[in-house]
């Protein structure tokens, strides 16, 4: 089953709490894992959840505040100890490479895998990566330092084979791939069997958007329009709107406004300020504006 | 009550597990906190335990492997956000300053407190720090990189006042401090009241030794002789003694041998390899040699 899932490893903000580690999420689409942000303790959360990370080739860092990247060096170092050999790609603001390089040289000499940095320009909305399964676009955000979110767009999925029809027309195995991709089948007698008699339509490709950290910004709406799942920070409640503005964060109500205006299918909030013991208050504030809001929680898996 | 306590924040080794974070401990003696090592997630553990860290002025780093220092930058960054103003002293191999400086400049500009690095020479056993409460000595260890443990020796405690006698002789408050320190009291008539009629003896000063990471090394025995509490790494069991030797770590049996030969009062083991799900096996191996062995556990407070 080709589900797309989002595992929240940490959805706290800069001060860790009893409940929340700093930002980090693992997005799984088809057979691939994409790590989004890597706050301190990311590798610990993975271990606590028993996650295998061999299918993780790409890490996307939204911005260079510590609560979004301090876990990188530990993760890389552990990959080294686990004898990883596959390339590791890091997509981030170009400054990251310089900062982490001193540490890599000191702590991670002789790694058996390559680390390849890809510089992101956080001010531009553009395609920053694609593989067989997804395209990833940057989403310029509004924060105290250059920051971008990420839009993951799954590529069209293959159609589902109707086993009985394949048997009935005795279609050879080597034709199946093309049929999954939508081709008709031509029998030895020249009869054309239309594809929709052999297959059923696949699920629609999933779209997931990650927007953290950011002040309220309507500019992102056209980019995230109609996504299946939006993760958007909701650091504060509305009564702290001045503090939100000053620190370039969003309130739960503002976040819900964005979700509503972008007509997304589902909103997950997170990046809660450590001041909120009862995060349900943030949830309620958001739900008053956008009903289908979910309270993000650490070590929890969500269907995209 | 002037107890000395040791709080283990993390006693895992390089790979974090479901149970154990990497190395970090908080030693509290009298009114002071001393942090020993600072693996990834140290500040998270402190938060999880609700520890206040305002009395922490000194951090001691045993060696520059990631599992003993990757948590430093996050901790310092958080101190900055919490508006710390008190100086922070870091005692470590001199390379640490260079490595962390790039990060400090990028992530921690404008801190309202000073960070003062004190270079340790891990090859020498010497006094590296003292304040009103303790003296701290380095303990040269045997590991793949320059490493030292730390011996904390509490300074002699004040004698306990016998309230009734103070009242009886109508001793003024301003004399109490000197009497606690052992002075006799002279009445207005010139009568000498010997100190031991006014006070009782204090508890003996505590001695705590931290030895991680290290291969079996009898050279440390004279230094740690008779300590109240020894924390010593026990990464492996005896059946992995070759691996222990190769990686310059100790087995549980070797650790217990050291404790026995040094005639310590109590041994706490830790720094367990991630391979051991059942750490009681390590405990049993150590106890066969040295009975008063305790299995170190994360987020646990021990009396020194």
Residue in A with minimal Cα distance to B16:
A44
Q: Quick check: B15 and A66 CB within 8 A?
A: no
Q: Give the minimum alpha-carbon distance from A64 to chain B in angstroms, rounded to a whole number.
A: 8
Q: What is the spatial distance between Cα B76 and Cα B82, in angstroms, rounded to a whole number?
A: 10
Enumerate the residues of chain B whose CB falls inside 8 A of the CB of residue A111: none
In chain B, the domains with their CATH numbers are 4-157+203-303 (3.60.15.10), 160-194 (no CATH)
Q: What is the spatial distance between Cα A221 and Cα A127, in angstroms, rounded to a whole number?
A: 17
Q: Quick check: A15 and B99 CB within 8 A?
A: no
Statement: residue A1 has pLDDT above 60? no
pLDDT tens digits, residue range A214-268? 999 999 999 999 999 999 999 999 999 999 999 999 999 999 999 999 999 999 9
Q: Is A67 a catalytic residue?
A: yes
pLDDT of residue B3: 81
Residue in A with minimal Cα distance to B102:
A99
pLDDT tens digits, residue range A173-192? 999 999 999 999 999 899 99
pLDDT of residue B1: 47
pLDDT of residue A2: 64
Three-point CA angle A247, A252, A253, nearest 5°: 110
pLDDT of residue B2: 64
Task: Check: CB of residue A268 under 8 Å from CB of residue A279.
Answer: no
Q: Give the one of B48, B66, B106 whose C-beta lies nearest to A107's C-beta.
A: B66
Q: What is the spatial distance between Cα A23 and Cα A37, in angstroms, rounded to a whole number?
A: 6
Q: What is the sign, positive or negative, of the torsion defined by CA atoms of B30, B36, B42, B43? A: positive
In sequence order, the β-bridge partners of residue B38 are B24
Task: Check: CB of residue B204 under 8 Å from CB of residue B158.
Answer: no
Token digits of residue A217: 């910004």
Segment (H or E) for A176: helix A176-180
Please provide residue A216's backbone torsions phi and psi, each rounded to the nearest 5 degrees. Answer: -60, 125
Token digits of residue B56: 């922490």
Classify residue B136 as exposed, middle or buried by CB count within 10 Å of its CB (0-12, 13-18, 19+): buried
CA neighbor of A144 nearest in space, from A62, A258, A70: A62
Task: Check: CB of residue B230 under 8 Å from CB of residue B270.
Answer: no
Classify residue B200 as exposed, middle or buried by CB count within 10 Å of its CB (0-12, 13-18, 19+): exposed
Three-state DSSP at B286 gives helix
Task: Check: CB of residue A121 under 8 Å from CB of residue A92.
Answer: no
Question: pLDDT tens track of chain B, all 304 residues?
Answer: 468 999 999 999 999 999 999 999 999 998 899 999 999 999 999 999 999 988 999 999 999 999 999 999 999 999 999 999 999 999 999 999 999 999 999 999 999 999 999 999 999 999 999 999 999 999 999 999 999 999 999 999 899 999 999 999 999 999 999 999 999 999 989 999 999 999 999 989 999 999 999 999 999 999 999 999 999 999 999 999 999 999 999 999 999 999 999 999 999 999 999 999 999 999 999 999 999 999 999 999 999 9
Q: Quick check: B102 and A106 CB within 8 A?
A: no
In Å, how far are A25, A154, A158, A191, B67 from B24, measured between CA atoms? 26, 42, 50, 73, 9
Three-state DSSP at A279 gives coil
CA neighbor of A202 nearest in space, from A185, A179, A184, A186: A179
Classify residue A165 as exposed, middle or buried by CB count within 10 Å of its CB (0-12, 13-18, 19+): middle
Q: Give the one of A47, A95, A103 whose C-beta lies nearest to B17's C-beta.
A: A47
Strands A127-130 and A115-119: unpaired
pLDDT tens digits, residue range A47-74? 999 999 889 999 999 999 999 999 999 9
Residue with tokens 């924040």: B9
pLDDT band at A165 (very low <50, low <70, confident <90, very high): very high
Task: Check: CB of residue B11 under 8 Å from CB of residue B298.
Answer: yes
Q: Give the one of B15, B70, B81 whose C-beta lies nearest to A73's C-beta.
A: B70
Please provide residue A66's backbone torsions phi and psi, each rounded to the nearest 5 degrees. Answer: -55, -35
Segment (H or E) for A127: strand A127-130
The helix-helix angle for B72-81 and B95-107 (nearest 10°) equals 40
ipTM over 0.90: yes
**In whole numbers, what is the pLDDT of chain A averaged over residues?**
96
What integer is the mean pLDDT of A271-279?
Answer: 96
Substitution target in B9, B11, B16, B64 with the highest count of A β-carbons within 10 Å is B16
User: In which region does residue B125 sit, left (phi positive, over 0), alpha (psi from -120 to 50) or beta (all else)?
Assistant: beta
């Amino acid at each position: 089953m080709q589900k797309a899932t989002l595992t929240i490893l940490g959805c706290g903000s800069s001060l860790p709490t009893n409940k929340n580690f700093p930002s980090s999420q693992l997005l799984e689409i088809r057979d691939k894992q994409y790590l989004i942000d890597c706050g301190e303790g990311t590798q610990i959360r993975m271990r606590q959840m028993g996650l295998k990370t061999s299918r993780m080739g790409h890490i996307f860092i939204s911005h260079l505040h510590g609560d979004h990247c301090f876990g990188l060096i530990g993760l890389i170092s552990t990959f080294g100890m686990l004898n990883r050999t596959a390339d590791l790609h890091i997509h981030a603001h170009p400054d990251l490479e310089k900062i982490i390089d001193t540490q890599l040289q000191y702590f991670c000499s002789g790694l058996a895998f390559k680390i390849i940095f890809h510089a992101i320009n956080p001010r531009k909305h553009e395609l920053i990566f694609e593989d067989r399964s997804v395209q990833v676009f940057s989403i310029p955000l509004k924060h105290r330092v250059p920051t971008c979110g990420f839009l993951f767009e799954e590529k069209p999925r293959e159609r589902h084979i109707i086993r009985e029809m394949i048997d009935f027309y005795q279609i050879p195995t080597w034709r199946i791939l093309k049929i999954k991709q939508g081709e008709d089948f031509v029998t030895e007698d020249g009869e054309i069997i239309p594809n929709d008699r052999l297959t059923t339509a696949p699920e629609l490709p999933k779209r997931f958007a990650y927007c953290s950290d950011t002040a309220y910004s309507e500019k992102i709406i056209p980019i995230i329009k109609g996504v299946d799942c939006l993760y958007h920070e909701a650091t504060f409640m509305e009564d702290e709107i001045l503090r939100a503005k000053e620190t370039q964060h969003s309130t739960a109500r503002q976040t819900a406004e964005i979700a509503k205006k972008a007509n997304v299918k589902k909103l997950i909030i997170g990046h809660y300020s450590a001041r909120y013991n009862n995060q349900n208050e943030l949830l309620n504030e958001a739900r008053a504006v956008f009903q289908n809001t979910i309270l993000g929680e650490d070590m929890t898996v969500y269907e995209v």
